[in-house]
Structure 1
Amino acid sequence: MEPVTILMAQLNALLRSSIAILPQLAVALVVLVLTWLISRAVGALMSRALDRSRLRPSLKELFLLLSTILVWVLGIMVAAVIVFPGLTPASILAGLGIGSVAIGFAFKDVFENFLAGIIILFRREMRIGDYIECEGIEGKVARIAIRESHIRQTDGQLVILPNSILFKNPVSVRTDQSHRRVTVICGVAYDVDLDAAREVITEAVRGCATVSAADHPIQIFAQEFGDSSINFEVTWWTGSKPVDIRTSRDEVITAVKRALDEAGLEIPFPYRTLTFKEPLPLARAGAQDEDDPAPTPAQRP
């Protein structure tokens, strides 16, 4: 047979087979349309049910996504069986299992972040609005998505952090409790009565509006012998947000400085004592030794 005849015969066979499966394709298309409608209905029902729950918004989005994916997987499997009658659900699952290995290696980081995001969403310790610190990144949790989390830093910058970093590394939740402890160091001179200084500092800190003295004690400890002062460790509790910490530290330092000044207690500057191997002659400015010769015209300025 001539090549043209062979080619035409193959095209005719392909056309007949394509026409033969048109009914299956039409039914499969109808199944996909029904799958789309069912996924919309399931999503609406899930949304109504989840709105009545107390789950965080990110968890609601996760459940909606998983329910939609499940409906579409079932619909695509049914459509594939209709188009290819030789397929069975077992063979499809086996094929998915083999393919998932290759896909897993190709998209390892994507799946790692996805699974880490699911685990993070179920955490109760880290919520949207908390201030956290992880791997040198500190800020407010603005959003927790499936693969990434959005951290809004205090200077306004937005950091998009992969969930695997939050899952595999220690995370400090700054606002897990409503109050945090703040510490500053305050030094007084060596000749100051330490008990009197401690009392003045305590009363100054207690009088600050940002200090939570009712629920947590104010602690003043003599810490060390400094180079020019006795250093006190001044500790108190205030709000846990970064702006609360800065505001309270400013108020406490100002109040302690004012109270020590009013009590006549010195906050010393660092003192330095210089020694020389040989004594240095001291001369009064403008004075001239009588034994010194008068300057020549060339030496005069």
Structure 2
Amino acid sequence: MDNQADQSFNTLQILVTQLRSMGEGIVSLLPSLVIALVLIILTWIVARFATKIADRLTARTKMRPSLRELVDTLVRIAIWAVGLMIALTILLPDLTPGSLIAGLGVGTVAIGFAFQDIFENFLAGILIMVREKMRIGDYISCEGIEGRVEQILLRETHIRKLSNELTIVPNSILFKNPVEILTDHDRRRHEVVVGVSYDTDLEEARQVIRTAVETADATDKEKPVDIFACEFNSSSIDFRLRWWSGSAQRDMHESRDAVIRSVKRALDEANIEIPFPYVTHTFKEAVPVASEAD
């Protein structure tokens, strides 16, 4: 019993000694803790002022809003990284800036492998913003994705389809694959194919079609109109019509509508036939074949 009492007393004494040592350590650490806390507060104040200054400087440029936000974020991160590093070296004197940077390097490599796709999209977003070729409101097509660019963020781009669905595309897809920017300029060339019968005077047909396209609504009268005979088709000789109009999708549809209606009206007035493909073939399939019994 005496031995058990002695062991309990020794354990309690060791615990008291440890608590006393921890208390003394905390008390001795208080000045450093206060200095580190003051340093963190100063870092917060400096980060706020630096972000405002960076925002004012970038506001004078033609940088897109998302790229300006990126600059503000990078300035804030850089200031906080320096402030926290200094605070840690004050709290832990044995922790030198060199060892801290080395540790951060190893951790960065591990995090990089774990979040490879996230960082890839992040860097692709930065490069897309810096390149500034694709703008908000542009109509683009990439890897079967087609629509109007609604927002460009650091990791993803929002594309609104004409049917009003929203597609969220990772920036790496837009950066690594060819992107067609259909509204890069306000004018774009459109084309359509129309066929005339084989007994038609092609020069007369060309002139009728040219006049119809040039006088159609929603076509650019200052740009040239091209009419090319392009193919001997099964039931017609085809002309490829090319003209200029607005680059927006609605402009394209309105222009094609106006040109097709104008060309059809002009060919009808000139008694030039637009053959219907496969009429003969369809008629032959509709005729029943006599059997041997008949």
Kept in 1, the 8 Å contact 2:195–2:236? The answer is: yes
1:246 has 2:289 as partner: no
Give the aligned partner of residue 161 of structure 1.
Answer: 169
Give the aligned partner of residue 80 of structure 1.
Answer: 88
Aligned with 1:97 (options 96, 105, 112)? 105
Shift of 1:4: 2.9
In the alignment, the residues of structure 2 paired with residue 277 and residue 134 of structure 1 have an alpha-carbon distance, to the nearest angstrom, of 50
State how many pairs are aligned. 279
Shift of 1:211: 1.3
Write the mapping of 1:1-301 to structure 2, written as runs, cut at 5 A: 2-215=10-223, 217-270=224-277, 271-272=279-280, 274=284
Shift of 1:213: 3.4
When the two chains are superposed, the root-mean-square deviation of aligned CA atoms in Å is 1.9
In the alignment, the residues of structure 2 paired with residue 258 and residue 279 of structure 1 have an alpha-carbon distance, to the nearest angstrom, of 46
Q: What amino acid sits opposite 2:103 in the alignment?
A: G
Q: What amino acid sits opposite 1:259 in the alignment?
A: A
In the alignment, the residues of structure 2 paired with residue 129 and residue 10 of structure 1 have an alpha-carbon distance, to the nearest angstrom, of 67
Could you list the per-position Cα deviations for residues 248-298 of structure 1 after superposition, in whole angstroms to 9, with x for gaps in the alignment? Answer: 111110111111111111112232153887699xxxxxxxxxxxxxxxxxx
Report the secondary structure of 1:45's partner residue. helix
Q: What amino acid sits opposite 1:44 in the alignment?
A: K
Report the secondary structure of 1:206's partner residue. helix
Structure 1 portions without partners, runs of 5+: 281-301
Q: 1:15 to 1:175 in 2, by over 3 A?
A: same
Identity of aligned residues (%): 50
Could you list the per-position Cα deviations for residues 132-179 of structure 1 after superposition, in whole angstroms to 9, with x for gaps in the alignment? Answer: 111111111122111111112222122121111111111111112222
Higher alpha-carbon Rg = 1
Structure holding more helix per residue: 2
Kept in 2, the 8 Å contact 1:213–1:236? The answer is: no
Shift of 1:35: 0.9
Report the secondary structure of 1:21's partner residue. helix
Shift of 1:116: 1.1
TM-score, with structure 1 as normaliser: 0.87
> After the TM superposition, which of the residue ranges 97-106 and 206-215 deviates more from structure 2?
206-215
